[in-house]
Structure 1
């Protein structure tokens, strides 16, 4: 099963993050689902992870949240992001998660408000999950 990123579908910052990751995921290994979708809710329930203000990475049947998820995603991206992510693991998790939480609390203010979220282009839309992976 490919790694899956569960994101807050109601957050423009999160949508921008998905587009940013997809643009730097040259091998197109990641699949995406919003936490509010049927697939997202089922995967969160399966991993016993509450929906909320965190990104979730499902990789090798393990669930990662907050800074662990961000850095694990970064390690699969193109240079320099993979190197920065590897270095990020040198920072203690409590400090990394504190920074993550500070960004998460402010994420709705970090991106200009719009009336609606833009649809992803077709090549990215194909990487969104419509059903549970097997």
Structure 2
């Protein structure tokens, strides 16, 4: 199970695409190494501010690991790299795409995520099985 020093993924708790990403993490992170924090919660918004991102208008994905904040596709590739060999390969392929191409594409999707994928009326509430993985 994850500890307090575990890496933290900050996600948009009302975004349906982000909820699917969280489901993916919960399914593939079998060792429970990642903790999760909605940007709408105290932990998530504090982490965003601490790493220079606005909790009111985040267009970046944030992974906080070993005291460092990783954003956008670097964060995604880093998470994938820790989910096992198959996903590590996908993360490596993502990193092979030049950053000047992959990050703007990611940010475009992030800016339009509600229109493209929808949104919840309220923040995602974890089920009892996974509640310990969420910080708020």
Taking structure 1 as the reference length, the TM-score comes to 0.84
Unaligned runs of 5+ in 1: none
Q: Secondary structure at the match of 1:123?
A: coil
Are positions 1:109 and 2:119 aligned together?
no
Q: How many residues align?
A: 130
Q: Alpha carbon RMSD of aligned pairs, Å?
A: 1.9
Are positions 1:72 and 2:78 aligned together?
yes
Compare 70-79 and 109-118 and name the one that shifted more. 109-118
Q: Secondary structure at the match of 1:2?
A: coil
Unaligned runs of 5+ in 2: none
CA distance in 2: counterparts of 1:60 and 1:93, whole angstroms: 22
Deviation at 1:112, TM superposition (A): 5.2
Matches within 5 A, 1:22-41: 22-41=26-45
Distance 1:115 1:27, change over 3 A: same
Taking structure 2 as the reference length, the TM-score comes to 0.83
CA distance in 1: counterparts of 2:35 and 2:88, whole angstroms: 18
